[in-house]
Chain A
Amino acid sequence: MTDSERPSDHPKKGLTDVRLEGGIYPPDAQPRTDPGVPTEFVTGMPASELVYESGLDLKARSQWAYARRRFLRHRLAMGSVFGLILILLAGVLANRLTSYGPAEIDFNNILQKPTTKGHHYFGADFLGRDYLTRVLFAIRTSAKVAFLVAFLSTALGTAVGALAGYFGGWIDNLLMRFTDLVLTLPAIAVLLVASARFGNGNQYRVAVIISLLLWTGIARVVRGVFLSLREKEYVEAAKAAGAGDMRIIFRHILPNSLGPIIVNMTLTTAGAILIEAALSFLGFGIKPPTPALGQLIQDGATELQTAWWLVVFPGIVIMAIVLCINFIGDGLRDALDPTQRVRA
């Protein structure tokens, strides 16, 4: 091998043809196909990159797009989404689905068994009110409360966790000790007292009260995620680029922690439905005449010996909703886990 053949002796061309604010490499530049002449010397681009770029139509696909694909292929989760939508739609369209009002008393039908006669598919209660109608309207109330709780507690928990995790030090200490304090409260007792004192049986007030107790789990999760993400190089790079604290928290770290936040939010929704049902069952939640699922069960409990349907139907609906939400949560967790590439 002579000196001139050594690769290192080739004239360096590389990138020099592209200038800032100037012409790009010629628009008609094509990868040369004749062997022996590296494309680099024709266009200033390494041959491998050009071939790669010209052969494939690359589409920008975010992590979210991958997550969506994985979720759409998760059968159980997709089935649950379908089921949940069905139940929620039934709640939303309650006044169109039945011809009865939720508080329409009919003494001819007191404790009517489930029957197709008069379309009392779920029977009627001790005041002769159509039970299907009451259950549908109860779904409406319970879902409203559940989503409100999920939204409020996620927002609060994320804010607390993000600030604590990002800033650390005394801010972290203060916020987390407060979180611990809330966690030590005996939840049911506090809920009962609080909703008796402040709830007034109003669904929105009850939702706020539940949220004020449920945010702690999310706060801890978010703090943990922020603690690890704030040490990432891209956060340091963002700092080096001149980004401020709030920008780093909301633009750089928060989108990276959305996975666990979303999963937790779903599970909180399920939890909220159960807590609301328990509260209403104990008579401290939503007060009649507004129907809520737990409250329907309470109404029915006294008649359990004679009228099983008063407990069974709202019970099944609660179970179905919570099960669906939990399956969706599982599906989301799998889909948002970037190491799960198998299904994508």
Chain B
Amino acid sequence: MAEPVLAIRDLVVEFHTDDGVVQAVDGVSYDVYPGETLGIVGESGSGKSVSTMSILGLIPQPPGRIRSGTAVFQGQDLLKLKKKELRKVRGNKMAIVFQDPMTSLNPVLKIGFQLKETLKAHNPDMKDSDAEKRGINLLQVVGIPQPDRRFQQYPHEFSGGMRQRAMIAIAIANNPALLIADEPTTALDVTIQAQILEVLKKAQDETNAATILITHDLGLIAEMANRVVVMYAGKVVELADVHTIFEAPRHPYTIGLMESLPRLTADEDFLTPIPGQPPSLINRPPGCPFHPRCFLSQGRARCREEEPPLRPIQGTAHLSACHFAEELEGAKSKLVDEPKAEEVRSS
């Protein structure tokens, strides 16, 4: 396999609060390979955003602190870079698409200005006219009609979907090697979501960037991702390619996530949530962080006492952090064997 664009190893990020130290990210490791889309799923507070934002220095420090780990991006460890050197990476070879396009564009600056700014921040010698040409071209690529006129407009004259397109244009402005999309469609309605996903795919095709897609939407993962990282309580609990995750999940948390989705086709009166609450990240339970909520644990002592390492399942690239992952043999996401619409209707 090719060299990874980004290799995160044993990343630990903590936040110092009045109540104690919150371990938001606790020993996370994963690789992102060129051209692929890596999905990161997990519930709120599982550390999926913090793990990516921290390597770019975008978490407030203090209270945040990166305690240990490495994040090698194109041969250099981002965590060892000085503030100024890190700034050269941001928006250049590594760019972010934020969640809420309504607030992520500066309301008093023209879209064109914000595009040009990103271009010129990393290409100081670029002529203004060239930046403008490139900017308009970028707006075209993300599917904004009349890009030359739109270039001169302000964010409040754009609709939500248009703004997210503009955000993507800004993100890919400098041909990044890695694009981080942090819940890029959460703030948009469903029809616009589909368009934005297409724009993201196209942006990826054009720049051949690897993409990290952070989301809690399993549907989005199934649609977009090549490989999936499932995070829980600041840890990676399962890592596999997208088909394996959905067809043969080997961690009880992943299965719980999929079980809790509503199904259109089945007559369900109640959803099936994962019982209990995520653990306090200040006071972690000993052993497996998931054991108090786990259907597989059933009070077994090993779950309480020993923290399960992330290990390959049957010697494959499928990693799971469960002592008893093998017992899940044959488990399948219900999303995969969903009955066809006709069958439901005729039944």
Contacts and interface: CB of A to CB of B under 8 A. Distances in A.
B107 A252 contact: no
Contact of B98 (A50, A233, A251): A233
Interface residues of A, number: 38
A252 B87 CA distance: 17
B244 interface: no
A234 interface: yes
A233 B155 CA distance: 14
Interface size class on chain B is 35 or more
27 contacts: A14-B198, A15-B142, A15-B198, A15-B202, A19-B141, A20-B141, A20-B207, A44-B143, A45-B145, A58-B149, A58-B153, A60-B149, A61-B154, A232-B103, A233-B103, A234-B104, A234-B105, A234-B107, A237-B96, A237-B98, A240-B90, A241-B91, A241-B121, A243-B117, A243-B121, A251-B109, A255-B109
B58 A62 contact: no
Contacts of B87: 242-244
Report whether over half of chain A's contact residues are helix, strand or loop; otherwise say mixed: loop
Contact of B107 (A12, A63, A242): A63
B284 interface: no
A242 B94 CA distance: 10
Interface of B: 56, 58, 87-92, 95-96, 98, 100, 103-110, 117-118, 121-122, 137-138, 140-143, 145-147, 149, 152-154, 156-157, 167, 170, 195, 198-199, 202, 206-207
B104 A233 contact: yes
A78 B194 CA distance: 49
Interface of A: 12, 14-16, 18-21, 24, 44-46, 49-50, 53, 58, 60-64, 232-234, 236-244, 247, 251-252, 255-256
Contacts, number: 115
B58 A239 contact: yes
Nearest to A62: B154
Nearest to A256: B108
Contact of B96 (A16, A49, A240): A240
B199 A15 contact: yes
B205 to A, nearest CB: 9
Contacts of B145: 45, 49-50, 53
